[in-house]
Copies of this chain bind each other. A is one copy, B any other.
């Protein structure tokens, strides 16, 4: 990919909204490109934040490990999304570990480059502020779900969110477009892989889902939304 193409890829991104083409070119020049193979680690929980990333292609999984060794998935990051922004915004370390769940390409700006860019183009700081605001709303919503909702609903919510982020229309419905295990879903929703397995199996029995190894296809999206929403059953 050439520099011009990269700049083109940045057009329309909320982070760089308000910059013209030439300015985008400058921004791209300050970045390094980096390729990640599946299962490669981009940054590790606790590391000093050296860079801020933008995902060009592929998909990342950001997770945390508790002192007791329990794994939690904070979020998945798709193409044209940022990663590492929390840490670079003044954090002392990355709060989580980012791993590629597919082969991926990222753009990386060093901490210094970020400082220079935000100084030169203050609008970037405003854009980041806006994006972090919406991420905080998202986090607050998940926190509320965790506090008030049953496991079944939380799983439905997670599936609905994933379908929105990474859903691909297939012949039988909407397929989550990256390898997603029962364990992953459990770590997203604060439950166990057993409960996830049971729940998904039940839904498959009702024709709502089509399941495979590390693969979920939503056959009846409306049913999933209904479960996530407020209806207890959705036959």
Contact with B along A72-107 (1 / 0, CB 8 A): 101000000000011101110001100000000000
Query: In the assembly, how many copies of this chain are there?
Result: 2
The answer to whether B148 touches A143, judged by C-beta atoms less than 8 angstroms apart, is no
Interface residues of A in 190-224 (CB under 8 A from B): 190
Interface residues of A in 130-185 (CB under 8 A from B): 130-137, 139-140, 142-144, 146-148
- Nearest CB of chain B from residue A228's CB, rounded to whole Å: 11
The answer to whether B190 touches A140, judged by C-beta atoms less than 8 angstroms apart, is no
Please report whether the interface of chain A is mostly helix, strand, loop or mixed according to DSSP. helix
Range class of the A interface residue count: 35 or more
The answer to whether B137 touches A91, judged by C-beta atoms less than 8 angstroms apart, is yes
The answer to whether B142 touches A143, judged by C-beta atoms less than 8 angstroms apart, is yes
The answer to whether B140 touches A64, judged by C-beta atoms less than 8 angstroms apart, is yes
Contacts A125-B122, A126-B125 given; indicate if A139 touches B140 (C-beta within 8 A): yes
Q: Is A20 located at the chain interface by the 8 A CB criterion?
A: no
Q: Which of B118, B131, B135, B139 contacts A143 (CB 8 A)?
A: B139
A-B contacts, 29 of them at CB < 8 A, read A64-B140, A66-B144, A66-B148, A68-B148, A68-B230, A70-B147, A72-B144, A74-B143, A86-B136, A86-B137, A87-B133, A89-B130, A89-B133, A90-B129, A90-B130, A91-B133, A95-B136, A118-B126, A122-B125, A125-B126, A125-B129, A128-B129, A129-B132, A132-B133, A139-B140, A142-B143, A146-B190, A147-B187, A147-B190
Please list the 9 inter-chain residue pairs (A to B) with the smallest Cβ-Cβ separation, ordered nearest first. Answer: A147-B190, A89-B133, A90-B130, A122-B122, A125-B125, A146-B146, A70-B148, A139-B139, A132-B132
Interface residues of A (CB under 8 A from B): 64, 66-68, 70, 72, 74, 85-87, 89-91, 95-96, 118, 122, 125-126, 128-137, 139-140, 142-144, 146-148, 187, 189-190, 230
